[in-house]
Structure 1
Amino acid sequence: MIPKGWKATVIGQHAEILTGFAFKSAEYTSDEQDVKLLRGDNVAPHRLRWRDVKRFPLERAAEMDRYQLRAGDFVVAMDRTWLPSGVKIAEVTEADLPCLLVQRVARLRARGTLHQGLMKQFFSGHHFDQHVQAVQTETAVPHISPADLRDYPIMLPPLTEQRRIAEILSTWDHAIETLETLIANARAQKKALMQSLLTGTQRLPGFSADWRWIKFSEVFERVRQKNDVGNTNVLTISAQHGLVSQVEYFNKSVASEDVRGYTLLRNGDFAYNKSYSDGYPMGAFKPLERYDSGIVSSLYICFRLANDGHDHGFFRHYFEAGLFNREISAIAQEGARNHGLLNVSVVDFFDTSLHAPGHEEQTAIAEVINEAEKMERTLLNQLAALRNEKSALMQQLLTGKRRVTVDLEEKTC
């Protein structure tokens, strides 16, 4: 049922949608004085990331005025639009300017019938995520089209009510942004703590013995057991969640039908994924913590502590801090990557070394970092709760199930 004064419509009736220009790579520059080109790679879920920036000559930017972006514009990556971490859509801010829109990225700009602040809310909710998942093609490179964006259905109230809804939800956005800043600070502090404690640069009180280099094979043993027990919990490595069920992460299993050749892990075992990802240039190391057991592809190198002489938590943080990257880099063979995987042999892997203190100091260091982790996790839980509360409120406000009060003076403006 449509609320009184509202109308069922599509976003294309109330927002201008423009796709980017096909800039030639030969025209790219690396001069920081030139104008940034906003490509699909620069659009992450709800944020822009300016890594590997391509630029266009400043003196020619006027030729591309149609593709100049403004603060408040929304941009959508048209390829691989939906990811498990969210939809690749973000708001352009003053800090991102000046920049030009590149092909396979769409820009959305509100027209007079749609309040810009409300458009932001339409694209930040679960409803838009569902729309993208429904229309994204199942091709080699999943993608959406400008028509898919134009046809996104919305319920639109009068402008005065739009403004009030946008004001209410922006209050929640500010609270979320404040928490995100606190989380970023907590992560930065934890990272600094890890770098100082896990390298021996900073010593904890009561410890002065020298650290030493230890053979990897003295600390860890390889996990070789195949899945001969019929385990169906196929795992994948997520940067944020560690070893997680493919069904949870992808909403489906992407493993082969026959998983008897997969490696069986038990809680606490480590898996090394030789494929690089954001924050893990030499691949990611993650322990199994969420489940009692699970299975991984034989492409992973799996291992567990060989004895009780070392602390599991210390080495979990050691790997996460990237302190083993130098060892991996030294054994990665020429040709580097095969189908995106580092060319690292198991024999060379177990022949590497680890730099560590004695067991007691390992445990003490792990406990300090664990406390920093707990603080970060508390903030993350608060953030998740706040987002859930906002999502529930959006469901009420953006459908008219819950109406807002609009001042008479504002109605007559």
Structure 2
Amino acid sequence: MRAYQAFRDEPGFARVVPLDEVRDNDYNLNVSLYVAPLVEREEVDVKALWEEVKAIDREIEAVEERIEGYLREALVPVRKLRETNIGSLPEDWNIMKLGELLAECYRYPTYYKIEYKSKGVPEIRGELLLEDGSIDTNPDRLRYISDETAKKFPKVRVKEGDLVLSVRGTMGKVGYVPKELEGAVITANLMRLSPNRKRVYPKFLMYYLLSDPFRRMLNILSPRTTVKTIQVSILKSIPVPLPPLDEQKRIAEVLSTVDEAISLSRKAIEAIRALRDALMAELLTKGIGHEEFREEAGIGRIPVEWEVVRLEDIILEAKPGFACGKRDENGVIQLRMDSIRTDGWINTEAFVKVPPPSNVEDYMLRPGDILFVNTSGSYDLVGKTALFRGEFDECVYSNHLTRIRVLREKASSYWLFYILMWLWRRGFFKTLCNVQAGGQKNVGKSTLLRIRLPRPSLDEQKRIARILLTVDERLRAERERLKRLRNLKEGLMSLLLAGKIRVRKA
């Protein structure tokens, strides 16, 4: 029924076929016959994507130079502190209640049960408040109310530099209102905080509201109810350590610079992902340097030099793991379905320890093994694939995973890993699933072995894999940079907002 509905509503489906036809058609690589394309495919300019990655890199390097300048020259430790009821602070810092720093603090009354419009006054809701204090302004995620409705509730309309705080349900999320959301309205679960700019710099206050001390205080003061909330009067009573106004601006400048680097790093990750996906589509179907192509039934257009093989022709084994409901802290590490990340790496924090079976050696993993998710409650997760790179010295795997080992004279494990991961991203394995008792979706061993693949020469496989691995390593390095930047921001916030280090005047 789901397929029929999609066929009727979505022109991207070529046709609806029974699952038996998919199986009888030799498990074709040409999934466009059976599933809607993820997006309308266009020719992607790989060189342009690479230039975009390099341009973002240059931006990040420039911002990181500014950060290094702060760390080297502008930040100085504080040796003389005074004791206060909220901890040690510099002698020239004050303590003020949050309410004393606000020109206005407002939540109710507001609108409810209204009809949203295709355009009009944008609405800010809790889901749009991001972890860095920014607000998602993507037009596709915004909702709009009529100007007529908005005019009835002027106090829920925000100005640039206002802060919005989630005070019900998921408490403590903060958003800084940018110029493009001037005049937007907030929902009932948010509170509008308008800073008194003679006393507090809005960005400084934003960072304090994002800090661990403030969030701990918010949690302590909120009632112990199923749905957490906090009253305006209690919120206003929370003490805030307050440096002089010019120092507030310098602190906000340092933290904003780190946030800029974090934002660019995220942008780089998205650009590298796009580059990797484009390269996978290009290299795994067109190869390297080919000029002549042929149409292969059920596969599509491939280089004339390539052959079409079944998976069973190029692998040594496809072996499912073993089930074990017992746990043993002194046992052997067992990888499970959630150990397989969507980027093809092993999640080294997602495993269990189980008593080793008598034939444990039969299930030991070694570098170069491919792990394929054969069973899941979700169609989307069946076929998720990772390459074991020796993350653990001794490691086995569960029955929801299949270990694939290649015949090294016929296939590169890295090449096969990439083509299986590419097929999963294209939605291919959804078409091969059986539904088991309890609703579990499964691609069995016999089904997996019959999949047909276009195979380059072993030398070309290795060249393709090296290119994709280089991009994957670049992606991994960018993720590590993002992690370091987040840790840096967390450390700087804990020191700067408590006055343990100070920003030297320019």
State the TM-score, normalized to the length of structure 2: 0.58
Counterparts of 2:447 and 2:159, CA distance in 1: 49
Counterpart of 1:145 (choices 224, 229, 235) is 229
Out of 121-130 and 176-185, give the one that drifted further: 121-130
Matched, 1:302 2:389: no
Partner amino acid, structure 2, of 1:168: V
Q: What is aligned with 2:493?
A: 394
Counterparts of 1:296 and 1:51, CA distance in 2: 44
Identity score, percent: 18
Matched, 1:224 2:321: yes
SS at match of 1:364: helix
Say whether the 8 Å CA contact 1:314–1:363 is kept in structure 2. yes
Partner amino acid, structure 2, of 1:243: I
Compared CA separation, residues 132 and 111, structure 1 to 2 (3 A) = same
Out of 42-51 and 159-168, give the one that drifted further: 42-51
Compared CA separation, residues 65 and 316, structure 1 to 2 (3 A) = farther
Matched, 1:343 2:441: yes
What is the aligned length?
383
Matched, 1:292 2:393: yes
SS at match of 1:403: strand
* 1:305-363, Cα deviation, whole Å (9 max, x unpaired): 2533332222433344455543223235689x95xxx7335368636625342343332
Say whether the 8 Å CA contact 2:288–2:460 is kept in structure 1. no
Counterpart of 2:475 (choices 371, 376, 379) is 376
Aligned-pair distance for 1:210?
2.8
Q: What is aligned with 1:410?
A: none
Counterparts of 1:259 and 1:102, CA distance in 2: 52
* 1:27-63, Cα deviation, whole Å (9 max, x unpaired): 345x3x3455444444453363859747344344434
* 1:70-122, Cα deviation, whole Å (9 max, x unpaired): 554355495567xxxxx965545455677543344555553443311112333
State the TM-score, normalized to the length of structure 1: 0.69
Aligned-pair distance for 1:365?
1.1
Larger Rg: 2
Q: What is aligned with 1:155?
A: 241
Say whether the 8 Å CA contact 1:274–1:284 is kept in structure 2. no
Say whether the 8 Å CA contact 1:77–1:104 is kept in structure 2. yes
Q: Which of 1 and 2 has higher RCO (CA within 8 Å, sep 6+)?
A: 2
Matched, 1:3 2:90: yes
Say whether the 8 Å CA contact 2:383–2:424 is kept in structure 1. no
Matched, 1:243 2:330: no
Counterparts of 2:320 and 2:218, CA distance in 1: 40
Compared CA separation, residues 285 and 127, structure 1 to 2 (3 A) = farther
What is the aligned-residue RMSD (CA, Å)? 4.9
Matched, 1:118 2:204: yes
Say whether the 8 Å CA contact 1:118–1:165 is kept in structure 2. yes
Counterparts of 1:187 and 1:203, CA distance in 2: 20
Aligned-pair distance for 1:406?
5.0
Aligned-pair distance for 1:389?
3.7
Compared CA separation, residues 41 and 162, structure 1 to 2 (3 A) = closer
Compared CA separation, residues 178 and 50, structure 1 to 2 (3 A) = closer
Say whether the 8 Å CA contact 2:344–2:387 is kept in structure 1. no
Counterparts of 1:196 and 1:391, CA distance in 2: 40
Counterparts of 2:473 and 2:323, CA distance in 1: 34
SS at match of 2:386: strand
Question: What residue ranges of structure 1 are gaps of 5+ in the alignment?
Answer: 82-86, 248-252, 408-413
Counterparts of 2:178 and 2:263, CA distance in 1: 14
Counterparts of 1:333 and 1:20, CA distance in 2: 53
Counterparts of 1:138 and 1:348, CA distance in 2: 54
Q: What is aligned with 1:250?
A: none
SS at match of 2:271: helix
Compared CA separation, residues 344 and 233, structure 1 to 2 (3 A) = closer
- Which residues in structure 2 correspond to 1:125-136 (within 5 Å)? none
Compared CA separation, residues 372 and 98, structure 1 to 2 (3 A) = farther
Counterparts of 2:224 and 2:401, CA distance in 1: 31
Counterparts of 1:89 and 1:294, CA distance in 2: 42
Q: What is aligned with 1:174?
A: 260
Q: What is aligned with 1:84?
A: none
